[in-house]
Amino acid sequence: MSTSLWSSFFPPPVRIALAYVLIAGLWIYFSDRLLLQLTNNQHQLARMATYKGLLFVLVTAGGLLLLLKKALARERQAGSAWHRSEETYRTLFEDNPQPMWVYDRESLAFLAVNDAAVSHYGYSRSEFLAMTVKDIRPAGEVAAQLENVAAVSRGIDKGGVWSHRKKDGCLISVDITSHTLVFNGRDAELVLASDVTATCQIEAQLQLRNRAMEASSNGILISSTRASGMPIIYVNQAFERMSGYAAAEILGRHLAFLGGDDSAQKGLVDIVGALHLGHAAEAVVRCARKDGSPLWIEFSVAPVRDADGTISHFVSAVNDVTERKNYEEQLEHQANHDALTGLANRNLFADRLRQSMIYARRSGRLIAVLLLDLDRFKVINDSLGHRHGDELLRQVGERLGHCVRSGDTVARLGGDEFVITLAEVAESDDIAQVTRKVTEALAMPLLVAERSLQITASIGISIFPQDSDDGETLIRNADIAMYQAKQAGGGTFRFFAREMNQRMQETMEMEADLRRALVRGELELHYQPKVDLVSGAVTGCEALLRWKHPERGMIAPQLFIPLAEETGLIVPIGQWVLRTACLEARSWQDRGLPPLVVAVNLSARQFRQPDLLATVMQTLLETELSPHVLELELTESMIVDNPEAAATTMHKLRILGVRLALDDFGTGYSSLNYLRRFPVDALKIDQSFIADVATDRGGAAVVNSVIAIAHSLGLEAVAEGVETVEQLYFLRGCHCNTLQGYLYSKPLPAGEFVALATSGRRLEW
Counting residues of the chain whose pLDDT is more than 70, the rounded percentage is 81
Strand pairing class (553-555; 630-635): unpaired
Longest dimension (CA), the chain: 226
DSSP letter (8 states) at residue 159: -
DSSP letter (8 states) at residue 342: -
pLDDT of 669 over the 70 cut: no
pLDDT of 4 over the 50 cut: no
Rounded Cα distance between 571 and 45, Å, is: 182
pLDDT band at 214 (very low <50, low <70, confident <90, very high): low
pLDDT of 155 over the 50 cut: no
Mean pLDDT over the full length of the chain: 82
pLDDT of residue 239: 84
Q: Phi and psi dihedrals of 406, rounded to 5?
A: -65, -30
Instruction: Evaluate whether 245 touches 238 at the Cβ level (below 8 Å).
Output: no
Least confident of 225-234, 416-425, 633-642: 633-642
pLDDT of residue 163: 85
pLDDT band at 82 (very low <50, low <70, confident <90, very high): very low
pLDDT of 202 over the 50 cut: yes
pLDDT of residue 500: 55
pLDDT band at 708 (very low <50, low <70, confident <90, very high): very high
pLDDT tens-digit series, residues 579-631: 999 999 999 999 888 889 999 999 988 998 999 999 999 999 999 999 999 99
pLDDT band at 385 (very low <50, low <70, confident <90, very high): confident
Query: Which one has a higher pLDDT value, 715 or 433?
Result: 715
Instruction: Evaluate whether 726 touches 759 at the Cβ level (below 8 Å).
Output: no
Burial of 390 (0-12, 13-18, 19+ CB in 10 A): middle
Rounded Cα distance between 74 and 79, Å, is: 8
Taking the model in full, what pTM does it have?
0.46
pLDDT tens-digit series, residues 293-339: 888 888 888 888 887 888 888 888 888 888 888 888 888 878 888 98
CB atoms within 10 A of CB 315: 16
> What per-residue string of b and e applies to 461-481 under the rule 16 or more CB within 10 Å gives b?
bbbbeebbeebeebbbbbbbb
pLDDT tens-digit series, residues 509-552: 888 899 899 889 999 999 999 999 999 999 999 999 999 999 88
| Mean pLDDT for the stretch of residues 374-401 | 88
pLDDT of residue 596: 92
DSSP letter (8 states) at residue 94: I
Q: By C-alpha distance, which of 410, 414, 413 is closest to 423? A: 410
Q: What angle do CA 140, 142, 145 make, to 5 degrees?
A: 130
| Mean pLDDT for the stretch of residues 414-428 | 88
Residues of the chain by 3-state class (helix, strand, coil), percent to 5? 50, 25, 25
Counting residues of the chain whose pLDDT is more than 90, the rounded percentage is 32
Rounded Cα distance between 658 and 758, Å, is: 25
pLDDT tens-digit series, residues 456-513: 999 999 999 989 889 999 999 999 899 888 888 888 888 887 665 566 567 778 888 9
pLDDT band at 67 (very low <50, low <70, confident <90, very high): low
Instruction: Evaluate whether 461 touches 430 at the Cβ level (below 8 Å).
Output: no
Taking the alpha carbons at both ends of the chain, their separation in whole angstroms is: 188
pLDDT band at 443 (very low <50, low <70, confident <90, very high): confident
pLDDT of 266 over the 50 cut: yes
| Mean pLDDT for the stretch of residues 161-166 | 85
pLDDT of residue 750: 93
pLDDT of residue 711: 93
* One-letter amino acid of 420: I
Rounded Cα distance between 470 and 473, Å, is: 5
pLDDT band at 760 (very low <50, low <70, confident <90, very high): confident
> What per-residue string of b and e applies to 186-210 under the rule 16 or more CB within 10 Å gives b?
eebbbbbbebeeeebeeeeeeeeee
Collapsing DSSP to helix, strand or coil, 196 comes out as coil
